[in-house]
Chains A and B, each alone.
Chain A
Amino acid sequence: MTVRLSEEQLALRDAVRELADAKIAPRAAAIDESGEFPWDVVELLASHDVLALPFPAAHGGLGADLLTVCLAIEAVSRVCATSGLIVAIQELGGLPLLLAGSPEQHARWIPDLAAGRILPAFALTEAEAGSDAASLRTRAVRDGDGWRIDGSKRFITEGNVAAIVNVFALTDDSAEARRAHRHLSCFIVERGMAGFSAPKVEHKMGIRGSPTAELVFEGVRVPDANRVGEVGEGWSIALRTLERSRPGIAAQAVGIAQGALEVAARYAAERRQFGRRIGEHQMIGALLADMATRTEAARQLLYTACQEIEAGTPLAGRWAAMCKLFAGDTAMAVTTDAVQVLGGYGYVSEYPVERMMRDAKITQLYEGTQQIQRLVVARDVMARGS
């Protein structure tokens, strides 16, 4: 099967690219240096309907398919990984609601998410439960008509600025529930709820403008109306969410790689040493060729994965893992090579590639480490024989 972007997808992609080049690219270095969350970029993306892409038209979204959402993430990430992440997180944080939320919950939160009036967060990971997410310990116990949540989460993107946080909590500690993966449930905790705080934000290697927060829940009472999906459906919701959000991270990675490739190519075409443009020296040329080839391969795998997942393939988990695995490793390799092509200039902040390299690393770590992605694919290979 081949991927052909429709005319509309091309137009949307080009529009986001133009916006990113003109309005976001000039901000990228400052966002990284200051480490401040770029609210102006949120406003820009919201006002241009970029944040509306993943949400249904009935609630003010644009009802775009997964590939189109990824095209937007890729286009923005090409100039600024932090900004690309804003788009990806808007999708990620909305997915549990879209996949398992009730009509009332949709009506309550989707319009604001689509309009970019509120930001969401996805809180699964804990200090002691990263790759082993299923062993998380934040608890939700029944409290009258509602629930009481106690525990903490770590490394939650936008957790401190989100208006709504999807919190995955243990609701049934029994061995059978765990065996059946029915031990977790998903709840929307809203900013301002008593007992909910974000005491700390991490200082990071890359995507420095994106706040990565620790979240603390001390006797937070949420009404049952804030429970997303059935009791015990949490793990299933998380997995189904990741099937659609991992491609978003792959898109971020492809975008980062593309941006780095362009900087390196431009440099190699202008910089002269030993009487020639350095791109004409074979060792540099080989680097550029590999960078270009791998970026395109990662892109094609991502686009195909999006189409497969959108079409409802039973192999969605595998496709999501493969595209995220390949794209993340590609971004790391391509940005590292980009620094190499620029030599000393690649190491200094006057050129953006050192930032892109620092940004790329996270794509090998979050939404499931590369090792977890490999586990997912390996299990499927063993189950299907290829």
Chain B
Amino acid sequence: MRIVVLLKAVPIVGTERLLDAFRVDRGSGLEANGNDEYVLEAALQLTEQHGGEVTLLTMGPAGALEALRKGLAMGAARAVHVQDDAVAGSDARGTVRVLAAALGRLEYDLVFAGADSSDGLGGVVPAWLAARLGLPYLSYAARIEPGPGGATVRVHRISPTGFDLLEAPMPALVMGTQLLGEPRYPSLRGIMQARTKEIATWSLADCGLQPSEVGPAAASSEIVGATPPPPRGGATIVRDQPDAAVAQIVDFLASRRLV
């Protein structure tokens, strides 16, 4: 199974900032998007059980390298890094254009993506990408396995009542969730081996795209204002005995019409 895993390097959770131009600051302190590591783990387990290799694909600045190295240390065979100043500040559409172009240059049976990135592209990129590439799209996976004949992929898709067992022919694009299972820590051996693995760097031109198709110029929305939300804190602290404490809680909730 040849699996391409889409890895997004996002600001470390809690440290996200906007730049002056109201773009997300990806200058420093990036880590792999949480959900992307789950799908990477699933991909590694599948190739370990059924043969094949995992390729990482990311679009991002130089700081994305660390997330890629970690993925290689976990066991991915190689990585492709689309790095070009022009792509900074791309919205979902620009991102899809680049990823679709990059995937057009790779061979695969499956493409894996994580659900929602923590820095907010809103969870629409995987569906968009699959539709653009004409791939069957299986989302919100809690489990991924090859279908009985070996030519299809089966996914347990989380549903409100449990899960739906989906099946589609490969090649296909699967979007996965945390339920796929805890990602492994890179072993130290993996870290040392990662040094010898290939990270190919592609520019926008290598992907056959023009700068006008990506980046802020091609963005479909503009930020006209940004405000921090009203500050929180200054809590009332209750330390009384349970009965007295509960009376205060009820009064507090009542004053806000919550009971």
Do A's and B's CB atoms come within 8 Å in the complex?
yes
Point out residues on A near B: beta carbons under 8 Å. Answer: 8, 11-12, 15-16, 18-19, 22, 47-50, 52-53, 62
A22 — which chain B residues lie within 8 A by C-beta? 185
- CB of B256 within 8 A of chain A? no
For residue B188, which residue of chain A has the nearest CB? A49
For residue A44, which residue of chain B has the nearest CB? B185
Given contacts A12-B191, A15-B191, 18 further A-B contacts (CB under 8 A): A8-B191, A11-B69, A11-B73, A12-B188, A15-B73, A15-B186, A15-B188, A16-B188, A19-B185, A22-B185, A48-B188, A49-B187, A50-B188, A52-B189, A53-B188, A62-B188, A62-B189, A62-B192
- CB of B50 within 8 A of chain A? no
Given that A11-B69, A11-B73 are known contacts, is A48 also in contact with B187, CB under 8 Å in the complex? Answer: yes
- CB of B17 within 8 A of chain A? no
CB atoms of B185 and A8 under 8 A apart = no
Query: Which 4 A-B pairs have CB atoms at the shortest separation, nearest pair first?
Result: A49-B188, A49-B189, A49-B187, A11-B191
Interface of A is mostly: helix
Cβ proximity bits B63-74 to A, threshold 8 Å, 1 near / 0 not: 000000100010
For residue B184, which residue of chain A has the nearest CB? A48
B185 — which chain A residues lie within 8 A by C-beta? 15, 18-19, 22, 48
A50 — which chain B residues lie within 8 A by C-beta? 188
For residue A51, which residue of chain B has the nearest CB? B188
- CB of B195 within 8 A of chain A? yes
Please give the distance in Å from A277's CB to the nearest CB on chain B: 16
Per the bound structure, the CA–CA distance linking A366 and B188 in Å amounts to 29
Per the bound structure, the CA–CA distance linking A18 and B73 in Å amounts to 14
Please give the distance in Å from A14's CB to the nearest CB on chain B: 9
Q: What are 26 inter-chain pairs, A to B, with CB distance below 8 A?
A: A8-B195, A11-B69, A11-B73, A11-B191, A11-B194, A12-B188, A12-B191, A12-B192, A15-B73, A15-B186, A15-B188, A15-B191, A16-B188, A18-B185, A22-B185, A47-B187, A48-B185, A48-B187, A48-B188, A49-B187, A49-B188, A49-B189, A50-B188, A52-B188, A52-B189, A62-B189
For residue B189, which residue of chain A has the nearest CB? A49
Please give the distance in Å from A324's CB to the nearest CB on chain B: 25
A62 — which chain B residues lie within 8 A by C-beta? 188-189, 192
Please give the distance in Å from B181's CB to the nearest CB on chain A: 16
B188 — which chain A residues lie within 8 A by C-beta? 12, 15-16, 48-50, 52-53, 62
A15 — which chain B residues lie within 8 A by C-beta? 73, 185-186, 188, 191
B187 — which chain A residues lie within 8 A by C-beta? 47-49
CB atoms of A8 and B192 under 8 A apart = yes
Residues 178-206 of B contacting A (Cβ, < 8 Å): 185-189, 191-192, 194-195
Please give the distance in Å from A18's CB to the nearest CB on chain B: 7
B194 — which chain A residues lie within 8 A by C-beta? 11
For residue B65, which residue of chain A has the nearest CB? A7
Q: Most B CB atoms within 10 A — which of A11, A12, A48? A: A11
B189 — which chain A residues lie within 8 A by C-beta? 49, 52, 62
Please give the distance in Å from A43's CB to the nearest CB on chain B: 13
Please give the distance in Å from B66's CB to the nearest CB on chain A: 8
Per the bound structure, the CA–CA distance linking A27 and B186 in Å amounts to 21
B69 — which chain A residues lie within 8 A by C-beta? 11
Please give the distance in Å from A212's CB to the nearest CB on chain B: 28
Please give the distance in Å from A48's CB to the nearest CB on chain B: 5
Per the bound structure, the CA–CA distance linking A65 and B185 in Å amounts to 22
Cβ proximity bits B117-135 to A, threshold 8 Å, 1 near / 0 not: 0000000000000000000
A53 — which chain B residues lie within 8 A by C-beta? 188
For residue B191, which residue of chain A has the nearest CB? A11
Per the bound structure, the CA–CA distance linking A19 and B188 in Å amounts to 11
A52 — which chain B residues lie within 8 A by C-beta? 188-189
Per the bound structure, the CA–CA distance linking A62 and B187 in Å amounts to 11
Per the bound structure, the CA–CA distance linking A338 and B50 in Å amounts to 53
B191 — which chain A residues lie within 8 A by C-beta? 8, 11-12, 15
For residue B69, which residue of chain A has the nearest CB? A11
For residue A68, which residue of chain B has the nearest CB? B188
A16 — which chain B residues lie within 8 A by C-beta? 188
Per the bound structure, the CA–CA distance linking A62 and B195 in Å amounts to 13
B186 — which chain A residues lie within 8 A by C-beta? 15
Please give the distance in Å from A149's CB to the nearest CB on chain B: 36
Please give the distance in Å from A352's CB to the nearest CB on chain B: 23
A47 — which chain B residues lie within 8 A by C-beta? 187
Please give the distance in Å from B90's CB to the nearest CB on chain A: 28
Per the bound structure, the CA–CA distance linking A264 and B69 in Å amounts to 34
Residues 184-235 of B contacting A (Cβ, < 8 Å): 185-189, 191-192, 194-195
For residue B194, which residue of chain A has the nearest CB? A11
B195 — which chain A residues lie within 8 A by C-beta? 8
Per the bound structure, the CA–CA distance linking A62 and B192 in Å amounts to 8
Please give the distance in Å from A282's CB to the nearest CB on chain B: 28
Please give the distance in Å from B30's CB to the nearest CB on chain A: 14
Please give the distance in Å from B195's CB to the nearest CB on chain A: 6
Per the bound structure, the CA–CA distance linking A47 and B69 in Å amounts to 20
Per the bound structure, the CA–CA distance linking A18 and B191 in Å amounts to 13
Per the bound structure, the CA–CA distance linking A18 and B187 in Å amounts to 11
A8 — which chain B residues lie within 8 A by C-beta? 191-192, 195
Per the bound structure, the CA–CA distance linking A21 and B136 in Å amounts to 40
Per the bound structure, the CA–CA distance linking A12 and B187 in Å amounts to 9
Please give the distance in Å from B12's CB to the nearest CB on chain A: 13
Per the bound structure, the CA–CA distance linking A50 and B191 in Å amounts to 12
